[in-house]
Amino acid sequence: MTTNPLQPTNFIQAIINEDYKSNKYGGRVHTRFPPEPNGYLHIGHAKSICLNFGLAAENQGLCNLRFDDTNPAKEEVEYVDSIQADVRWLGFSWDDRLFYASDYFDQFYHYATQLIRAGKAYVCDLTAQQMREYRGTLTEPGKDSPYRNRSIEENLDLFERMKNGEFPDGSRVLRAKIDMASPNMTMRDPALYRILRAHHQRTGDKWCIYPMYDYAHPISDSIEGITHSICTLEFEDHRPLYDWVLEALQIYRPQQIEFARLNLTNTVMSKRKLRELVEQGFVSGWDDPRMPTISGLRRRGYTPEAIRDFCERIGVAKSNSTVDVGLLEHCIREDLNLRAPRAMAVLNPLKVIIDNYPADQVEELTAENNPEKPEMGTRIIPFSRELFIEKDDFCENPPKKFFRLAPGQEVRLKHAYIIKCESFVKDEQTGEILEVHCTYDEGSKTGGPTSARKIKGTLHWVSAPHAIQAEVRLYDYLLATDSQSNPEDAIETEEANDFKDAFNPKSLERLANCMLEPSLQNAACGSRYQFLRLGYFCADLIDSTAGSLVFNRVVGLRDSWAKAQKG
RNA sequence: UGGGGCGUCGCCAAGCGGUAAGGCAUCGGACUCUGACUCCGAUAUUCCUAGGUUCGAAUCCUAGCGCCCCAGCCA
């Protein structure tokens, strides 16, 4: 109970504030997150989770987790487990309020008989095909089912026999008696119960009739004392039915509020499409780091904090929108910049030999772990005569403003010395640069007498004899469409018969021969680092082991040089 | 030609009759032993269009236009 309404941050909070004023729910705020356990949660669900749990928390209210398990044909325990893990990982708690719509099956049944007694529901024997024909079209009214005026006694008898398994699947349904001529298709005597012999993961074979969403949802909300039942826009047309059910039953009435679901550029967000990617092998699973699923983002290296921040920044409204994935990337960079320790890793190694450095000498250099946070301490990095630098950091014929290594050019090695490129060895057949020879300025070591010299470029590097070889996986967008410059095309491609035509064949690039600084040897699975000048990387939760490290690139650092080169 | 929604900067999004917040992106510049971070500055005389009401409109009225959703015994 709050006495000072919050400054509304979105239209739903504004409604809550109004409800406080009118004392609609006695000052209570009670929401729920009601996933159907038929797939993995994705970033779109995260928006809903943050909204529901967030609104409850900010208004000193409660939020339930409720599985909408009314269709056993599609639902599996694997999904209920993953959903709970994901919600928890995102940082939300439902305490002891974990519910299942199936908890209420007896109650639903009882209420249904009540509707029949009130003359508001009837058993209909029309086939699915016939029902479709009787329903009419968007512009023409439907016509009454010939079974619409059965007696209450007959309906009661038939419904009970439906429950008792006396009729085959699909042979009859229980329907609400509303209005076959309603301009709202949802109100044309919608089905409330169907006969379906499917084993339910929680109720087993107790039932052979299962309630429909439109019937089960309002009652579940009512039973749980939900105040604000938040759902997505496509249910707007269902709101009159939601209200009708509760009104007909004369039970407590929550209010349904709809908001626009999240769409993200360069990816897909429907469970159907995500499942296709998984089942047809486009990705390795629901948790493939390219997937916009919570488990995929987690494996990629995203933090719950970044995802929550993202959900706050995108806002909540009713207009269909597609958020630029760049905002998500911004959120994880901002979070990891402050938290991730730095390390040096070379993805595409090029040998550098410091000709005037003693062959058998090894120095232990000190490097800060995070310049943003001195309290994160320092670590030791070995330096020796032979190093690896990034192939991209050397150029035989450098373009203007190339502040990296090139013949005759000087560059600073991070935490170490200033070196100068004297010569290089090139494979004349392939044109590949094989090694680069340099000399170093002995006094230029970090902290040394000539270290303050102005040098434009600083490179990351790894001591060759000390380097740890590792695999690094670079990810790009799932869909290659550039919806920014050509939104129409993107939508067409994505919605085409086969959105997979837009699948980005370069969405995964594996680099097996990367060289890491030795401090990374004990990187724990899931630990995140900023590889200097490259981006943020996360030791893979599944494939990385001490003997064979595997890092995923969470997101690259912003790169104004690359951008300038392109433009 | 039915019903329900939505239309404010490239992408999100505030605004609710008093003279266009903020974020992302973009473009300049400063700083820099990460071309990162940070910092400074720029960026809608205009709110889908056209009329109208008003001293005053993105906000009210009228008429259009555009986009999304609905004809599952899915959710």
What was the pLDDT predicted at A501?
85
User: Do A127 and A178 share a domain, yes or no?
Assistant: yes
User: Is residue A264 included in any domain, yes or no?
Assistant: no
Q: Which two tokens stand for residue A205?
A: 């074979």
What was the pLDDT predicted at A480?
84
Among the three residues A460, A494, A516, which one is the final residue of a domain in this structure? A460
User: Do A79 and A198 share a domain, yes or no?
Assistant: yes
What was the pLDDT predicted at A493?
47
What was the pLDDT predicted at A4?
56
User: Is residue A266 included in any domain, yes or no?
Assistant: no
User: Do A350 and A442 share a domain, yes or no?
Assistant: yes
What was the pLDDT predicted at A5?
65
Number of domains in chain A: 3
User: Do A63 and A178 share a domain, yes or no?
Assistant: yes
Among the three residues A460, A478, A505, which one is the final residue of a domain in this structure? A460
Task: Tell me how far apart the alpha carbons of residues A549 and A539 are, in angstroms, rounded to a whole number.
Answer: 7
CA of A416: nearest nucleotide by C1' is B33
Q: Which amino acid is it at A156? A: L
Residue A241 CA to B71 C1' — how many Å? Answer: 16
Residues A368-381 as b/e (b if ≥16 CB within 10 A, e otherwise) read ebbeeeeebeebeb
Task: Tell me how far apart the alpha carbons of residues A567 and A564 are, in angstroms, rounded to a whole number.
Answer: 5
User: Is residue A176 included in any domain, yes or no?
Assistant: yes
User: Do A448 and A514 share a domain, yes or no?
Assistant: no
User: Is residue A233 included in any domain, yes or no?
Assistant: yes
User: Is residue A5 included in any domain, yes or no?
Assistant: no
User: Do A307 and A371 share a domain, yes or no?
Assistant: no
User: Do A425 and A546 share a domain, yes or no?
Assistant: no
User: Do A251 and A299 share a domain, yes or no?
Assistant: no
Residue A118 CA to B71 C1' — how many Å? Answer: 28
Q: Containing domain of residue A51, as a range?
A: 11-259
What was the pLDDT predicted at A412?
98
In this structure, what CATH number is given to the domain that contains residue A148?
3.40.50.620
Q: Is A471 noted as a catalytic residue in this protein? A: no
User: Do A324 and A177 share a domain, yes or no?
Assistant: no
Nucleotide B68's nearest residue (CA vs C1') is A320
In this structure, what CATH number is given to the domain that contains residue A541?
2.40.240.10
User: Is residue A282 included in any domain, yes or no?
Assistant: yes
Q: What is the ipTM of this complex?
A: 0.97
User: Do A422 and A279 share a domain, yes or no?
Assistant: no
Which bases in strand B are touched by protein, i.e. have an atom under 7 Å from a CB?
1-8, 10-16, 22-27, 33-38, 67-75
How many CB atoms within 10 Å of residue A205? 11
Can you give the pLDDT of all 567 residues of chain A as single tens digits? Answer: 444 567 789 999 999 999 999 999 999 999 999 999 999 999 999 999 999 999 999 999 999 999 999 999 999 999 999 999 999 999 999 999 999 999 999 999 999 999 999 999 999 999 999 999 999 999 999 999 999 999 999 999 999 999 999 999 999 999 999 999 999 999 999 999 999 999 999 999 999 999 999 999 999 999 999 999 999 999 999 999 999 999 999 999 999 999 999 999 999 999 999 999 999 999 999 999 999 999 999 999 999 999 999 999 999 999 999 999 999 999 999 999 999 999 999 999 999 999 999 999 999 999 999 999 999 999 999 999 999 999 999 999 999 999 999 999 999 999 999 999 999 999 999 999 999 999 999 999 999 999 999 999 999 999 999 999 999 999 999 998 654 334 344 444 445 446 888 899 999 999 999 999 999 999 999 999 999 999 999 999 999 999 999 999 999 999 999 999 876
Q: Is A271 noted as a catalytic residue in this protein? A: yes
Contact A515, A462 (CB under 8 A): yes
Question: In sequence order, what DSSP letters do the residues of A439-467 get, joined into one string?
Answer: EEEGGGSTTSTTTTS--S-EE--EEGGGP
Residue A248 CA to B56 C1' — how many Å? Answer: 49
Q: Which of A32, A194, A271, A404 is catalytic?
A: A271
Q: Which of A24, A74, A261, A351 is catalytic?
A: A261
CA of A132: nearest nucleotide by C1' is B71
User: Do A329 and A349 share a domain, yes or no?
Assistant: no
Among the three residues A230, A259, A288, which one is the final residue of a domain in this structure? A259
Q: Which of A36, A75, A258, A494 is catalytic?
A: A36
What was the pLDDT predicted at A1?
41
User: Is residue A543 included in any domain, yes or no?
Assistant: yes
Residue A567's contacts (CB-CB under 8 Å, 6 or more residues apart) are none
What was the pLDDT predicted at A8?
84
User: Is residue A132 included in any domain, yes or no?
Assistant: yes
Reported pTM: 0.96
- Reported residue count of chain A is 567
User: Do A486 and A397 share a domain, yes or no?
Assistant: no
Residue A246 CA to B65 C1' — how many Å? Answer: 39
Residue A316 CA to B22 C1' — how many Å? Answer: 14
